[in-house]
Amino acid sequence: MADNLITIENLSKGFNGKMILNNLNMSVFRGENLVVFGKSGSGKSVLLKCIIGLMKPDSGKIYVGDRELEKMNSDELNTFRKRTGFLFQGAALYDSMSVRENLAFPLIRNTEMNKQERDKKIINTLDLVSLGEAIDKMPSELSGGMRKRIGLARAIITDPEIMFYDEPTTGLDPITSKEISELIIALQHRLHMTSIVVTHDLICAKIISDRSIFLKDGDIIYNGILADLAGSDDPFLKNFFSDEPIKSGD
Amino acid sequence: MNIPKLIYGSRLNFKELVHNFFATIAGLSIISLEFFRQVFLPPYEIAEIRKHMNELGIKTFPIVSITGLIIGLVLAMQSQPVFVRFGASDFLPGTVALSVVRELGPVITALIFAGRVSSGIGAELGSMRVTEQIDAMEVSAVNPFRYLIVTRVIATTMILPVLTIYVIFLAVFGGYIAVIITENMSFAYYKNAVISSIQYGDLIPGIAKTFIFGFIVGIVGSYKGFTAEGGTEGVGKASTTSVVIASLLILLVDVVLVKLTLLVWPTT
């Protein structure tokens, strides 16, 4: 329990009468890279949004350390959020702001840095994601891979303790996808963060994962290392990770 | 016969329509209360408010300029033959000015402003909602309500009265253009006739209500955008419904305010 950074107990969340997460129990350990697998609509993103407080669970408890998320007031919730970074599926860059302004946004509001310090931090962070030249570009001028990198830069600019990645490689070509995955692991080693990565990209998971869980029907059906998950005898898991066409009845 | 379907071209039944109507009223009430709760809390985001005021002013400046000139021009052109027939041409400047100051200027500017700005805010915030930009703001420990809504509503509330005063001046000038086409009236005479016909009881309520109209435009656009869902279709819906609701509310609130004005200034 001492290493538990996030503990989830009996978490349930449904939409329009359909349960997406059903009495889910799990823990995230400090310093690990946890990959969350599951089919589309299995509740992976919902799980992330419940942990960060963007969605309110129907029932169950989420603990950050030993503090229950539900019982945090808005100041405490903001303090928790300042310790986190979130890379959204579509990067969620602010359209009306340049790359520089996107990165400055959390710094202006959450730190005491002056303009010089902020500029230095922005340039250093952009160098980490190898996109220093994009500093004065608008999001509409960036490619999908560049947007993800800038989104990642914005998420890590406040040196978060916990990183949430929602489908970090979706919609990218295999090479860019691999580059983003390697960037994530490089940043993880450099900044010593705890990461929760929602994905169904096996290559990304292979690069990132310390531990994997698999969500199905609102609950975890597998919890362990990726090699065992990919080699599982369970017909559903076998089919999920198989290159072969889906057999009827599976 | 499904009347709502005929009117709205949608699959909404009457029950859903009534539900949506009351849900919108409730939503607008809640968001308005939240606005007044948050507007006095720091950080004040002055730079953002100034930016929105500039953008809104620049965005609506050309269309309200044309509208203002045309209101005065058409009003004077339509009224002039009647005034001439009754030998009351001298009353024309005052009539144009009073109509524009008390009603036409504020209401038409507000409606134009709603069409241009409420839809813009609805589309912008709706797009931010469906692309998770608002969520991104929230997880950055920034209050999106204060940053996105409070700043925009303050900007619309402050800029509409300025635009209205500008429109009133243009409309009165437009009236003069219409008059001099057919009559030999000096600008000094026209100006004096206008000034002497307008009292504080005409000017103050006319301008004061534009603060309320500006608030309506901002709050409706923000509400529809902030609560948008369903991808690009949701953004389009937020944009169009913002204009419809804001325009209807402006007209309804105007009726109430006119009645209130007549109670406060019964002689005007």
Give the CATH number, domain containing residue A157.
3.40.50.300
Question: ipTM of this predicted complex?
Answer: 0.90
As a whole number, the mean pLDDT across chain B is: 91
Contact (CB, 8 A) for A164 and A86: yes
The average pLDDT across A168-195 equals 88
* Interface touch A54/B139, C-beta < 8 Å: yes
Q: Which residues of A132-165 are buried (b: 16+ CB within 10 A; e: fewer)?
A: eebbeebbeebeebbbbbbbbbbbbbbebbbbbb
- What was the pLDDT predicted at B7? 45
Q: For an interface test with A, give the residue of B139, B142, B235 to mutate (most A CBs within 10 A).
A: B139
Domain-embedded: residue A247: no
Residues of chain B short of pLDDT 50, as ranges, are: 1-9
Domain-embedded: residue A176: yes
- What was the pLDDT predicted at A250? 45
pTM for the complete prediction? 0.88
Domain-embedded: residue A179: yes
- CB-closest option in A95, A96, A106 to B140: A106
Set of chain B residues whose Cβ sits within 8 Å of the Cβ of A86? 135-136, 139
- What was the pLDDT predicted at A175? 87
Quote the tokens at residue A143. 């490619």
Q: Is the pLDDT of residue A246 over 70?
A: no
Note whether B142 contacts A: Cβ–Cβ < 8 A: yes
* DSSP 8-class letter at A141: G
Domain-embedded: residue A39: yes
Set of chain A residues whose Cβ sits within 8 Å of the Cβ of B131? 90, 92, 95
Looking at the complex, report in whole angstroms how far the Cα of residue B168 sits from the nearest Cα belonging to chain A.
33
pLDDT per residue over B25-53, tens digit each?
Answer: 999 999 999 999 999 988 888 999 999 99
Minimal Cα distance from A90: which residue of B? Answer: B131
Minimal Cα distance from A155: which residue of B? Answer: B140
Minimal Cα distance from B51: which residue of A? Answer: A96
Note whether B229 contacts A: Cβ–Cβ < 8 A: no
- CB-closest option in A95, A96, A110 to B141: A110
Minimal Cα distance from B132: which residue of A? Answer: A92
* Interface touch A106/B138, C-beta < 8 Å: no
Q: Is the pLDDT of residue A2 over 60?
A: no
* Interface touch B135/A88, C-beta < 8 Å: yes
Q: For an interface test with B, give the residue of A54, A152, A162, A163 to mutate (most B CBs within 10 A).
A: A54
* Interface touch B135/A92, C-beta < 8 Å: yes
Q: Is the pLDDT of residue A179 over 90?
A: no
Minimal Cα distance from B138: which residue of A? Answer: A54
Looking at the complex, report in whole angstroms how far the Cα of residue A93 sits from the nearest Cα belonging to chain B.
6
- What was the pLDDT predicted at B6? 45
Q: Domain range spanning residue A178?
A: 31-58+73-241
Please name the amino acid found at residue B81. Answer: P
Q: How many CB pairs under 8 A join A and B?
A: 51
Three-state SS sequence of chain B: CCHHHHHHCCCCCHHHHHHHHHHHHHHHHHHHHHHHHHCCCCCCCHHHHHHHHHHHHHHHHHHHHHHHHHHHHHHHHHHHHHHHHCCCHHHHHHHHHHHHHHHHHHHHHHHHHHHHHHHHHHHHHHHHHHCCHHHHHHHCCCCHHHHHHHHHHHHHHHHHHHHHHHHHHHHHHHHHHHHHHHCCCCHHHHHHHHHHHCCHHHHHHHHHHHHHHHHHHHHHHHHHHHCCCCHHHHHHHHHHHHHHHHHHHHHHHHHHHHHHHHHHCCCC
- What was the pLDDT predicted at B185? 87
Q: Is the pLDDT of residue A224 over 60?
A: yes
- Residues 75-94 in A contacting B (C-alpha not used; CB under 8 Å): 78-79, 81-82, 84, 86, 88-90, 92-94
Domain-embedded: residue A11: no
- How large a percentage of chain A has pLDDT more than 70? 96
- Based on the structure, what is the number of domains in chain A? 1
- What was the pLDDT predicted at A245? 65
Rounded to whole angstroms, the Cα distance separating B121 from A122 reads 30
Q: For an interface test with A, give the residue of B56, B124, B132 to mutate (most A CBs within 10 A).
A: B132
The average pLDDT across A72-84 equals 93
Rounded to whole angstroms, the Cα distance separating A121 from B81 reads 71
- What was the pLDDT predicted at A244? 67
